[in-house]
Amino acid sequence: AAGVIQSPRHLIKEKRETATLKCYPIPRHDTVYWYQQGPGQDPQFLISFYEKMQSDKGSIPDRFSAQQFSDYHSELNMSSLELGDSALYFCASSWLDRGQITDTQYFGPGTRLTVL
Amino acid sequence: AQKVTQAQTEISVVEKEDVTLDCVYETRDTTYYLFWYKQPPSGELVFLIRRNSFDEQNEISGRYSWNFQKSTSSFNFTITASQVVDSAVYFCALTHQAGTALIFGKGTTLSVSS
């Protein structure tokens, strides 16, 4: 079965540089989520989109922005990178069944960002 | 506010032992959803199970079983006859609505030795 695709899988940047992470959801999924996981920590929710509209917002820094495109893929843009941004960034996607209130989030393999 | 507590930080067992991972949650929502995810050393997050707040039926899937008790706000996960491949970090998570954040516990690191 097709899974969530994230690119790149690894990224090394210098402080103050910018980075763009991409996420391609499972086919037919209409909602994407972004999470940040620091070393030894649990994933922290950043932001989510449903049908190209922001659905929920978490602890996403102002230096970060994200959007979902018409083909449902999403991009997370990160500017003025700091050492503390080094983490594993997960994208998840979901599809809401008719009659259900919630959905199951399926995660991609993650992008490991290292800021030097 | 929603909160998930996994009090066990690390558990070490020997192969074939049974092990239970505890999860306690807090929420003011009357409808909510609980999840378990597995994160093996390779780093991906693998979905294991979803349980709705209005369905307290326990579930068994092979060597895995889940015990949901609303009275104690717990959603515990038991692995029977553990195997080395079960070594991973296991996260319990909570949400109340589609499109919104999953609130994760801190995770329990399970190490299974041969």
Q: How far is B52 from chain A (nearest CA, A)?
A: 9
| Ranges of residues in chain B whose predicted pLDDT is under 50 | none
Q: Where are the alpha helices (DSSP H) in chain B?
A: none
User: Is any Cβ of chain B less than 8 angstroms from the Cβ of A101?
Assistant: yes
With beta carbons under 8 A apart, name residues in chain A contacting B37: 107
Among A116, A113, A107, A82, which Cα is nearest to A20's?
A113
Mean pLDDT of chain B: 95
Question: Residue B25's pLDDT is what?
Answer: 98
Q: How far is B16 from chain A (nearest CA, A)?
A: 27
Whether the predicted pLDDT of A102 surpasses 90: no
Question: Residue A60's pLDDT is what?
Answer: 95
Question: Residue B100's pLDDT is what?
Answer: 86
Cis preceding-peptide flag for A39 (omega within 30 of 0): no
Is the separation of the CB atoms in A34 and A51 below 8 Å? no
Whether the predicted pLDDT of A83 surpasses 90: yes
Mark yes or no for CB contact A33/B101 under 8 Å.
yes
Is the separation of the CB atoms in B82 and B64 below 8 Å? no
Which residues 15-74 on chain A approach chain B with CB closer than 8 angstroms? Answer: 31, 33, 35, 41-45, 48, 50, 55-56, 58
Strand residue runs (E) in chain A = 5-7, 10-13, 19-24, 31-37, 44-50, 53-57, 64-68, 74-78, 87-94, 106-107, 111-115
With a CB cutoff of 8 Å and minimum separation 6, the contacts of A44 are A35, A36, A37, A38, A58, A59, B104
Question: Residue A100's pLDDT is what?
Answer: 66
Query: Which tokens in the block code for residue B53?
Result: 């707040």
Query: Which tokens in the block code for residue A84?
Result: 């503390």
Mark yes or no for CB contact A106/B37 under 8 Å.
no
Q: What is the pLDDT of residues A32-76, one digit of tens each?
A: 999 999 999 999 999 999 989 999 999 999 999 999 999 999 999
With beta carbons under 8 A apart, name residues in chain A contacting B106: 41-42
Confidence of residue A13 (pLDDT cuts 50, 70, 90): very high
